[in-house]
Amino acid sequence: MTLSAVTVIGVTGCVFCAIVAGSVPAFEVADTDSVVAFLDTRPVFKGHVLVVPRQHLATLADLPAALVPEYFGFVQRLSVAVESGLGAGGTFVAINNKVSQSVPHLHTHVVPRTKGDGLRGFFWPRTKYASASEAADYAARIAAALPPSL
């Protein structure tokens, strides 16, 4: 079973459901029938990607076990793409469940990292893109580096 085989139900007021539906614009990096990846509008570092299931699921515990390999396989591919597409030294991959989860829709952060970037523990300073053009460039660079599979 894939996420696309499950009835996709958007939740009114959920910004990620609106992004998935296309009613709220986002700098999309990649998508499948089941998962969408787009740039965070308040990135820790430029190139910070959010990966969300198309189906509204609030937390990791709500992700059906049969869908875990598909979802995390996509997250894994995105982490490779962020690293190679942006020339990052590595990535930080994280999920908040309930506490500190700013949008109650399952999402995984894939954050580019470089040695000495100043990120310590779970203190996440936020930045902004200088323009829509800069954000689109970051999204395109990551998308171009996305491996077909691992």
Provide the percentage of residues in the chain whose pLDDT is more than 90: 73
CATH of the domain at 98: 3.30.428.10
Does residue 150 fall inside a structural domain? Answer: no
Residue 9 φ/ψ, nearest 5 degrees? -120, 115
Q: What is the pLDDT of residue 2?
A: 39
- For the chain, which ranges sit under pLDDT 50? 1-8
Q: What is the pLDDT of residue 10?
A: 64
Q: How far is it, in rounded angstroms, from Cα 10 to Cα 29?
A: 21
Tokens representing residue 93 in the block: 């991959």
Does residue 48 fall inside a structural domain? Answer: yes
Does residue 60 fall inside a structural domain? Answer: yes
Helix (H) or strand (E) holding 16: helix 15-21
Helix (H) or strand (E) holding 143: helix 132-144
Q: What is the pLDDT of residue 83?
A: 97
Does residue 100 fall inside a structural domain? Answer: yes
Burial 71-106 (b: 16+ CB within 10 A, else e): beebbbbbbbbbbebbebeebbbeebeeeeeeebbb
Does residue 121 fall inside a structural domain? Answer: yes
> In the chain, how many domains are there?
1
| Model confidence pLDDT, tens digit, residues 69-113 | 999 999 999 999 999 999 999 999 999 988 888 899 999 999 999
Q: What is the pLDDT of residue 1?
A: 34
Q: What is the pLDDT of residue 3?
A: 38
Does residue 77 fall inside a structural domain? Answer: yes
Does residue 20 fall inside a structural domain? Answer: yes
Residue 122 contacts by C-beta under 8 Å, 6 or more apart in sequence? none
Task: Print the domain residue range for 49.
Answer: 3-144
Q: What is the pLDDT of residue 124?
A: 65
Does residue 149 fall inside a structural domain? Answer: no
Q: What is the pLDDT of residue 9?
A: 57
Q: What is the pLDDT of residue 101?
A: 81
